[in-house]
A and B are shown apart, each in its own frame.
Chain A
């Protein structure tokens, strides 16, 4: 049973560039969430996708956008990169419908460094 996978594992970009991160959910899951984790902090919710639509969004600017495909995989796009976007980006998948019990399972993350 494959868990959540993310690619790439590491990425180095320069300010102003654009980046795309990818995520494949755990088998049987239909919902994908993205989190940003700055060094030494807890993860911060970016957004969640379900049925190919953005279901909920955290307090992140429009430079952060995403997409979910019919096979439930997802992409996170960040435009006009800033130094402050350097972080670990975590993808989590879940199966919708269990309200507060819905458990999110995380992938290994993508470490993004913006120079």
Chain B
């Protein structure tokens, strides 16, 4: 069965510094998509970034980038120049080609940005 693990339940980062949120996964499916979402206390899941398993380059979206290491089955999210508004829960999610259209989520990491 496919599984996603986020090993950091909570993290602190100083404002303006970079932070890496870890995500590892377990699958034998060679085709999959990786997604990161941000969930503020309001509850809405906000899409941040996508990486396909066959993409040659790591994805970037503004201050967000994905450190994708396929052989190690990891897809870590890097947030550069942290802002106070980045304080939220962050979820790694995946769609596996052999599992239809559902997203499978990790347990999340709570990021707290210190002023």
* Chain A residues in the interface with B (C-beta under 8 A): 31, 33, 35, 41-45, 48, 55-56, 58, 88, 90, 92, 94, 96, 99-109, 111
Contact = CB atoms under 8 A, between A and B. Distances in A.
Contact of B45 (A43, A48, A94): A43
Contacts of B35: 103-104
Contacts, number: 73
B43 A108 contact: yes
A31 to B, nearest CB: 7
B68 interface: no
Given A56-B100, A108-B44, 18 more contacts: A31-B101, A33-B103, A41-B107, A42-B107, A43-B91, A43-B105, A44-B105, A45-B104, A48-B102, A92-B45, A94-B101, A96-B101, A99-B97, A100-B95, A101-B50, A103-B35, A106-B46, A108-B43
A111 B47 contact: no
Give the interface size class of chain B. Answer: 20 to 34
Nearest to B94: A100
Nearest to B54: A100
B53 interface: yes
Contacts of A55: 100-101
B52 A106 contact: no
B41 to A, nearest CB: 11
Interface string B74-115: 000000000000000001010111001111111110000000
B108 to A, nearest CB: 6
